[in-house]
Amino acid sequence: MKPDRRRFLAALSALSTLPAWPAWARPASDDASPPRLLLALEAAPDVDPAGWLVSEKYDGVRAFWDGRALRLRSGTPVAAPAWFTARLPATPLDGELWLGPGRFDALSAAVRRARPVDAEWRALRYMVFELPDAAGDFASRAARIASLLQATGNPQLVAVHQAALVDRAALQARLAQVVGTGGEGLMLHRADAPYSSGRSPLLLKLKPVQDEEATVVGHVAGRGRHEGRLGALRVRMADGAEFLIGTGFSDAQRESPPPLGALVSYRYRGRTAGGLPRFASFLRLRDL
């Protein structure tokens, strides 16, 4: 056997004895399965913040950096510019790509392009809130995130601020402040929690439930089990904008819906970039 061939086979044999990459560290081209991330449950409106660290809930695109590639929560690789990923540390990170309040649609378009546009990526930030699979409780991981990202000197890499709040009043005040500036709500993470994945009570999301009034301007026929009765109300807000309310009705209300011109109350969770209520649900018919 020739010397060059013997050296090649020896090197190949040595490679076969190396340990396999851990799941989170595989390149996206090797494993595009969904990464194991921690997912939140809904918080009770009267949740006590004692023992939790509280941060803003960003209206962004969840992104997982495995140390080599950036991926969406689905596992799909993100076509981020090479200059952007070159400035990320080798440590796995979990966070949100974010453009700012009310700019989700523009962000989503930028992140999902097959060919990234530099100007769009220079405007966004990577808001980091977790170190996947890292040791220690969340409080210590949050401190490590702040230290790690500060050391990179990268202004687009931001450690999400985590705060301990003293009581429910402080939590509600913080929620009102965030929502008042266009934010979605709050995240509560148990300060003493080790890292885990999947949907867990160790991580909660707290979003406001708001209610307003609108005028009924149309009835949309139902389909499926609602065929022959109300499917949704078309309503008009005070500013003239119209939208549909399709949930929250009793069977009796679907059989005999509020008439045209009636004033109804509805609940919703924040607004879209266009100013329409999100997740609107019928509450009641108002007395005229």
Active site residues: 57
**Phi-psi label, residue 97: left if phi above 0, alpha if psi -120 to 50, beta otherwise:** beta
Question: Residue 246's CB: how many other CB atoms inside 10 A?
Answer: 16
Q: How far is CA 255 from the centre of its chain?
A: 37
Task: Return the amino acid letter for 150.
Answer: Q
Kind plus residue range of the DSSP H or E element containing 280: none
Give the Cα separation of 126 and 145 in Å (integer): 12
Question: What secondary structure does DSSP assign to 25-86, as a single string?
Answer: GS-TTT--SPP--EEEEEPPTT---TTEEEEEE--SEEEEE-SS-EEETTSPBP---HHHHH
Residue 176 burial (CB count, 10 A): 11
C-alpha 81, offset from chain centre: 22
Integer CA distances (angstroms), 166 to 140, 228, 235, 270, in order: 19, 53, 41, 26
Q: Using the 8-state DSSP alphabet, how is residue 138 labeled?
A: H
